[in-house]
């Protein structure tokens, strides 16, 4: 029943191609600069997370959204700022979670973040609740996540731990099945995206060698062309997984969807170049009381380009409507 059979998204006449949808916003979208207020959250393992708050007004709003970005992105990404701007305009406060090492400052440990790092999201949830209680004003919490951040949110919701105060969620362009998505990124033009991701990830390993005295073989990492190679050599061993295959299996959100107990919208474009059929959980959504699946024919990966007099993209209007 929660499958949304007909989506309202219609792409611009000349911007409908899935790679154009994916690349155009990064290169050409202009989003107003936000006056973020940064909070450093110290973690129990000695590391930290940087949270960027954007308030809707002088006084705290009745609702707050925790937002999670995608792989090798940050709170400064165009899609994070666009969604934050739309939420602030609707009177909602936002806290953008920068994953470890993504805030402009290297994290302190050899480990970093990954597609299933739900313990860090739970730490942010606890910090938001603590701040609200200290202010004497507990607020309703919503979650919004893009790509990797969406996978983290779905997995966290499915695990069902530390979710007090969470009322609903919207996730977009989510690689719910990590193994098949990693394979998809090895094909055709997608290799351009893969090389870009690997380049950024290896640059962070170089910093760990310099700052932390790590001994990663940077030449070997630079020769890598796939997530299978990178996750086998770094992500899996540094985060306690036996192999890349085990990491993908244990962190793919598709295996946690049955545990979701708050209204959740999963918005994956049908032409997303990063996704495979396994990333569209039709069967789970069909009989799910909380998971709403919407699959517009177009939209690319975190695209959904739209032209309107408010400067918003379609997915931002859609998210606001669902959360309301």
147 included as an active-site residue? yes
Tell me the pLDDT of the chain (324 aa) as tens digits: 578 878 899 998 889 999 999 999 999 999 988 999 999 999 999 999 999 999 999 999 999 999 999 999 999 999 999 999 999 999 999 999 999 999 999 999 999 999 999 999 999 999 999 999 888 889 999 999 999 999 999 999 999 999 999 999 999 999 999 999 999 999 999 999 999 999 999 999 999 999 999 999 999 999 999 999 999 999 999 999 999 999 999 999 999 999 999 999 999 999 999 999 999 999 999 999 999 999 999 999 999 998 776 789 999 999 999 999
pLDDT for the residue numbered 309: 64
CA dihedral 113, 114, 118, 124 (to 10 degrees): 30
| Co-location of 130 and 44 in the same domain | yes
Residues 6+ apart with CB under 8 A from 84: 34, 54, 67, 94, 96
- Coil, strand or helix: which one is 167? strand
Range of the domain at 16: 3-177+260-323
d(CA 180, CA 246) in angstroms, rounded, equals 13
| Co-location of 41 and 112 in the same domain | yes
Query: Within its chain, how far is the Cα of 43 from the centroid?
Result: 20
Quote the Cα angle for 288-290-295, to 5°.
Answer: 80
Which candidate in 147, 173, 180, 181 is catalytic? 147
- DSSP summary character for residue 58: S
Query: What residues form DSSP beta bridges with 93?
Result: 64
| Co-location of 100 and 209 in the same domain | no
Whether the model pTM is above 0.95: yes
| Co-location of 222 and 269 in the same domain | no
d(CA 39, CA 145) in angstroms, rounded, equals 19
75 included as an active-site residue? no
| Co-location of 43 and 131 in the same domain | yes
d(CA 260, CA 156) in angstroms, rounded, equals 9
- pLDDT single digits (tens) 252-274: 999 999 999 999 999 999 999 99
Which candidate in 272, 292, 298, 315 is catalytic? 272
Residues 6+ apart with CB under 8 A from 283: none
Q: Which residue has the tokens 């990064």?
A: 26
Domain end (from 232, 251, 270): 251
CB 107, CB 101: distance < 8 Å: yes
pLDDT for the residue numbered 32: 86
Which candidate in 18, 69, 301, 315 is catalytic? 301
CA neighbor of 232 nearest in space, from 245, 244, 222: 244
What is the Cβ-side half-sphere exposure of residue 206, based on CA atoms within 13 angstroms? Answer: 11
CA neighbor of 80 nearest in space, from 127, 147, 163, 135: 147
Residues 6+ apart with CB under 8 A from 246: 236
Q: Which helix (H) or strand (E) holds 54?
A: strand 48-54
Quote the Cα angle for 61-98-29, to 5°.
Answer: 80
CA neighbor of 230 nearest in space, from 215, 220, 241, 239: 220
272 included as an active-site residue? yes
Quote the Cα angle for 129-132-138, to 5°.
Answer: 85
| Co-location of 191 and 305 in the same domain | no
State the angle between helix axes of 78-89 and 18-28 in degrees (0 to 180), rounded to the nearest 10: 80
| Co-location of 223 and 305 in the same domain | no
- pLDDT single digits (tens) 142-159: 999 999 999 999 999 999
d(CA 207, CA 63) in angstroms, rounded, equals 38
Domain end (from 194, 221, 251): 251
| Co-location of 50 and 134 in the same domain | yes
Number of domains in the chain: 2
CATH code of 114's domain:
3.40.50.1820
| Co-location of 278 and 233 in the same domain | no
| Co-location of 264 and 201 in the same domain | no
Label the pairing between strands 166-172 and 140-146: parallel
| Co-location of 198 and 99 in the same domain | no
| Co-location of 243 and 160 in the same domain | no
CB 298, CB 271: distance < 8 Å: yes
């Amino acid at each position: 029943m929660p499958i949304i059979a007909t989506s309202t998204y219609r792409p611009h006449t000349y911007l409908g191609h899935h790679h154009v949808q994916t690349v155009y916003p990064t290169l050409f979208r202009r989003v107003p600069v936000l006056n973020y207020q940064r909070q450093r959250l110290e973690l129990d393992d000695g590391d930290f997370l940087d949270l960027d708050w954007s308030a809707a007004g002088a006084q705290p709003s009745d609702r707050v959204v925790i937002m999670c970005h995608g792989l090798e992105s940050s709170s400064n990404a165009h899609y994070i700022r666009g969604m934050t701007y739309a939420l602030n305009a609707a009177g909602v406060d936002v806290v953008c979670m920068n994953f470890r090492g993504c805030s402009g400052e290297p994290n302190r440990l050899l480990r970093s973040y990954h597609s299933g790092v739900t313990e860090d999201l739970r730490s942010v949830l606890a910090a938001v609740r603590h701040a609200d209680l200290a202010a004497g004003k507990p607020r309703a919490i919503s979650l919004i996540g893009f790509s990797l951040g969406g996978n983290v949110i779905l997995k966290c919701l499915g695990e069902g731990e530390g979710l007090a105060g969470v009322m609903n969620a919207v996730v977009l362009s989510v690689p719910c099945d990590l193994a098949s998505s990693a394979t998809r990124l090895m094909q055709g033009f997608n290799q351009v995206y893969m090389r870009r991701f690997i380049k950024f990830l290896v640059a962070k390993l170089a910093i760990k060698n310099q700052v932390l005295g790590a001994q990663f073989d940077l030449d070997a990492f630079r020769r890598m062309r796939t997530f299978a190679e990178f996750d086998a050599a770094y992500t899996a061993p540094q985060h306690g997984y036996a192999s890349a295959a085990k990491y993908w299996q244990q962190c793919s959100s598709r295996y946690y969807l049955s545990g979701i107990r708050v209204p959740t919208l999963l918005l994956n474009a049908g032409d997303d170049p990063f996704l495979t059929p396994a990333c569209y959980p039709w069967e789970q959504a069909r009989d799910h009381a909380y998971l709403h699946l919407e699959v517009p024919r177009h939209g690319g990966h975190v695209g959904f380009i739209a032209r309107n007099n408010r400067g918003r993209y379609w997915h931002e209007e859609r998210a606001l409507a669902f959360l309301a």
